[in-house]
Every structure is written in C-alpha cells, then in structure tokens.
Amino acid sequence: MSAQRVTTIPVRSAAGRYRVVFDRGGIERLGRHLRTVLPSERVVVVSDATVAALHATPALAALQRARLRPELIVTPAGEPAKTLESARRLYEQLADLRVDRSTGVIALGGGVVGDLAGFVAATYLRGLPLIHVPTTTLAQADAAIGGKTAVDLPAGKNLVGAFHAPRLVLADTDTLATLPERHLRAGLAEVAKVAFTIEPALLRGLEGRFDLERALVAAARAKARIVSADEKERGRRMVLNYGHTVGHALEALGGYKRWLHGEAVAHGIQAAARIATLTGVGSEAWEARQWALLEMLGLGGEFPRVSIAKLLTYMSLDKKARAGVPVFVLTARVGVVRVRRSLSVDTVTRALASLGAQP
C-alpha cells in the first residue's frame, strides 16, 4: 500500500467514525483493511451474480489470507431485486449460516447490493457490522457513503430503510475496469450532482480535463463532508437529493428496469434545472451549462416522453414529500441551493411538459 495509491477520507457518524478508503487494487488487501474494524473473524460477503463472478474469488482469497473466515451469499443483480423478498431470503440465509452479532457483512457490489445488504445488516439481530466494498462509480462516489440503506416497494423507491453506518468503505477503482460503459456513465450523474450543488471546483474540473478517479474521490470527499455534518438529513444533507425527486419517480415508473438510477437522476437534474429557470430561481444559462455537462458525461439527452400524471403520483409518495407535496432541491447557480417545499403542481407540470413529457 504505497502512500500515493491510497486516499483516506474520514466520516463522522453517531455510531462512530469510519473511513472511506480509495485503494487501487485494494480488494487484494481486503483482509488487511478489515483487521481493525471487525469484532470477530467471521464475515459474510454479499454480492450479486454479476459482481460475484468478477470479484468474489479474489475477495474471498484476500479474506482467507488474513485468517478471516468468509462465506459468500449471492443475490440477483439489478434494482428489481432490491425488494423485501430479497431481504427475507438474505435473513434466512444468515440464519442458516448461524450468523451472530459479531459477524461482519461485506456488501461487495454497486448501489443495489449496498442498499440491500446494508438494510439486512441494519436489521438482522438488530444490527450487524457492515463493510461496503463498492464496485461501481455510483457506489464509490456516493451510495456507499453516509449510512443510508433501503429496499424498494412497488409504490416507490427506497421507501423502507434504515440508517446504518458502515465500519469501513473500501473503494477499489480497479473494479471499474470491468464495469459496463452504461453503468460507468450512469454513476457520473451523482458526481455531476455534487459538482452542481456543492463543489464549484469539481464542476470546473469535469468541464476541463476529465479524470475519473479524481472525480470520484472529489465527489466522495464532498459527500463525506455533508453527511458528517448532517447524518440523518435534518438539513444540509438535503442538497444531495438534487435531481432525485423526479429521478426516483422515473425509476418507479419504469419498474426500476427502464433507467439505471444514475440515468434517472440525470433526467431529474434536467427537470430541476428547468423548474429553476421557470420559477426564476436559476437562469437559462445555468440550465444550459448543466445540460451541457450531462451531455459531455454521456448522460441526459432528451427527457423521456413519459406521462406527467404518473410522474406526479410517484412524486407525491416520495420519502421527502409532506402531505403529498414533493420537495424539490433547486440550484440558483453552482453551489447555491434552494429547497422548495410548496411548488405548485402547475409549475411542475409546465416544466415537465416543456421538456417533452406527456400531459
């Protein structure tokens, strides 16, 4: 582990501090990374079929080399698998393995595995030690940091969940080499979100000479700063929901299949930027700059021609909605965020219609 290769980002949480470690090739050193954060030598690696095929063997070998006793549970891949039924199966597999409260759960995979295994770790035996080993741009820059875990309901995204801080987040950027291009790009929506809302320097970097690893680390650092200040989303953390009001509704509307989370968030950012322009919070120039960066990252493009009425229904069920009125995070310009809790249906409808959504 040379000093150059490893970046360590500290995160504060009510349950204690933990580190987000970017370590290229770090899965080979997984056992060593874990030695100080686990209460016993038993660990269960939870991964999906796609990621397990690529990374489970080296991960298990690394754990064994460190004299840990790993077991592997493989779940189905994809957001449609992030259900209570998947959680139930995981609980029963943990019971079959006679897992106890000192057994660590390692979530090896993208955002879906992290959310699902995280929720199960939060609730099995009222809480098991959790380690995230994110293998996607989305999870490394965003999802693995901050302790949110969840499963989806048919009624909406992430409606059931818990806060459960990990003991460690180990991001091995070598895993991105095997990530399909579409997934790699989708995760950059969360990086763009951070750039638009809280990191002017990152925005300039993304618009200039783009370096993937630097962008991920910068986004992770910004997210760590925000969640350290506001773990339970009582205030500042709300900015991280930029693009997610419409994004989550799109995902639900598409049965969690049609758009990847990041793709839906990119469209959600388009919608938020349009609403900001229409309401005078933002400007056309700022909206155009956001569309341009998304385009450059291979995201965005045309807003989907979906039913506005259906989108509004899903938005009214959003976790942050109050009495059915969704919350919108808007940006006035880079780094200047406005949270709007009482946008009229009419305003939102006009914005979505002007983007090409269907009345």
Residues that bind a second copy (CB under 8 A): 14, 40, 42, 84, 87-88, 91-92, 95-96, 98, 100-102, 122-127, 148, 150, 153-156, 159-163, 316-317, 319-324
For the bound state, the minimum distance from the C-beta of residue 145 to a second copy, rounded and expressed in Å, comes to 16
Q: Smaller CB distance to a second copy: residue 3 or 14?
A: 14
**Quick one: residue 16, left, alpha or beta (phi over 0 = left, psi -120 to 50 = alpha)?**
left
Q: Smaller CB distance to a second copy: residue 94 or 215?
A: 94
Pair of tokens at residue 179: 């990530």
Beta bridge partners of 83: none
- Total Cβ atoms within 10 A of residue 92: 10
Q: How far apart are CA 253 and CA 154, in angstroms?
A: 10
Q: Smaller CB distance to a second copy: residue 316 or 347?
A: 316
For the bound state, the minimum distance from the C-beta of residue 91 to a second copy, rounded and expressed in Å, comes to 6
Q: How far apart are CA 316 and CA 325, in angstroms?
A: 6
Amino acid (one-letter) located at 330: L
Pair of tokens at residue 291: 């569309």
Q: Smaller CB distance to a second copy: residue 61 or 345?
A: 345
CB 142, CB 172: distance < 8 Å: no
For the bound state, the minimum distance from the C-beta of residue 82 to a second copy, rounded and expressed in Å, comes to 14
Q: How far apart are CA 157 and CA 75, in angstroms?
A: 19
Q: Smaller CB distance to a second copy: residue 22 or 314?
A: 314
For the bound state, the minimum distance from the C-beta of residue 27 to a second copy, rounded and expressed in Å, comes to 27
Q: Smaller CB distance to a second copy: residue 312 or 336?
A: 312
Q: How far apart are CA 236 and CA 164, in angstroms?
A: 19
Where are the extended beta strands (E) located within 196-351?
A: 328-333, 336-340
For the bound state, the minimum distance from the C-beta of residue 303 to a second copy, rounded and expressed in Å, comes to 26
Pair of tokens at residue 158: 């992430």
For the bound state, the minimum distance from the C-beta of residue 261 to a second copy, rounded and expressed in Å, comes to 17
Q: Smaller CB distance to a second copy: residue 204 or 341?
A: 341
For the bound state, the minimum distance from the C-beta of residue 26 to a second copy, rounded and expressed in Å, comes to 29
Pair of tokens at residue 126: 């009222």
φ, ψ for residue 47, nearest 5 deg = -145, 160
- DSSP assignment, residue 110? S
φ, ψ for residue 57, nearest 5 deg = -60, -55
